[in-house]
Structure 1
Amino acid sequence: MSVSHERSQEANEYMKERMLFTPRMFQVINTVAPEVGERFADFYNSVWADGALPRKVKELIFTAVGVSYRSPACLIHIIPAIEAGATDEEIFEAVAVGMLAAGFVPNGPGIPYAFQYAVKVLEIAQKYRAGEPWEYIKPHEFRV
């Protein structure tokens, strides 16, 4: 059962106000259960809002984690980091830390592989700032 387009858009905007972006999965979920997206945004904001660490730093940390584990879904956090005021220099330093961490975490992907994700984050940031279309990295295929 879907809800009206207006209600779905309202939930998307609610999420963007609180999260600084609307995740793709919630753009779909909000067409069926917008209250779920809104509650998630409230929870998210309770963790990510400025506190001892400013939101920008939290988003950069999460982006660095995404680079270190080669997680395509985590790379989206560069968008709210930019919206929270992250500079290109801050983004570079964060993804460099994530790239190095990839070589030290147990079963980590290694620095050369994380480097690909670090480059992708920098490309996404440039495209986002320029208003150009951008995409996530496709997730790895599961092998049996």
Structure 2
Amino acid sequence: MDDGEQHYHGVLDELRPEHRALRQAIPEVYQGFNAISAAALSDGALSRKVKELIAMTIGVVHGCDGCIASHAKGAVRAGATEQEAAEAIAVGIMMHGGPATVYGARAFSAIREFSAETVTT
């Protein structure tokens, strides 16, 4: 992949030092957030894959590229397919309208980027 095809890797790379700096300033908050994330995303009645797709779609609705990147990567790692992601994004579009078509396309691009990585590695 060339750099143009790895936009969402870049989003995560860009955010990493910013998160690190903030985490050092407020470690208790990040510890709490990490605990909530681990609990919320663990397999239960809903699989981790479904939960990652839900989180990614919430990122679509809120227009959050960092959320999209993080949860698209998590969804792919949990076994989500491009079609499953597209259908989750469709729900975001139904709930949020036009703006979700922009961020939905971004999320689909992120899914495809991370999916291609898992195929080649």
Asked whether the 8 Å contact 1:68–1:114 carries over to 2, the reply is yes
CA shift, 1:74, in A, is 2.9
- Cα distance between partner residues in 2 of 1:89 and 1:78: 13
Q: Secondary structure at the match of 1:51?
A: coil
Runs of 4+ in 1 over 4 A off after TM superposition: 33-39
| Paired letter, 1:40 | F
Report if the CA contact (8 A) 2:50-2:75 is conserved.
yes
Which residue in 1 is equivalent to 2:36?
43
With normalisation by structure 2, the TM-score equals 0.67
In 2 relative to 1, CA 130–44 (structure 1 residues): closer, same or farther, beyond 3 Å?
same
Q: TM-score, normalised by structure 1?
A: 0.58
Query: Is the contact between residue 72 and residue 114 of structure 2 (CA under 8 Å) also seen in structure 1?
Result: no
Choose the corresponding residue for 1:55, options 44, 48, 60.
48
Equivalent residue for 1:129, pick from 106, 115, 119: 115
Letter in 1 for 2:75: A
1:84 Cα deviation (Å)?
A: 0.8
Could you tell me how far apart the structure 1 residues matched to 2:103 and 2:76 are?
17
Question: What is the 5 A alignment of 1:14-29?
Answer: 24=16, 25-29=18-22
Distance 1:69 1:42 in 2: 22
Q: Which residue pairs with 1:89 in the alignment?
A: 83
Q: CA deviation at 1:41?
A: 2.3
Q: Which residue matches 1:99?
A: 93
> Counterpart in 2 of 1:79?
73
CA contact (8 A) 1:68 1:100 kept: no
Where does the alignment leave 5 or more consecutive residues of structure 1 unmatched? 1-20, 103-110, 132-144
Name the counterpart of 2:62.
Answer: 69
Rounded Cα–Cα distance in structure 2 between residues aligned with 1:98 and 1:29: 30
In the alignment, which residue of structure 1 is the partner of 2:6?
A: none
* Pair 68,35 (structure 1): closer, same or farther in 2 beyond 3 Å: closer
State the structure with bigger RCO (CA 8 A, min sep 6), 1 or 2.
2
Note the residue ranges of structure 2 that are not aligned, 5 or more in a row. Answer: 1-11
Aligned counterparts of 2:34 and 2:94: Cα–Cα separation in 1? 31
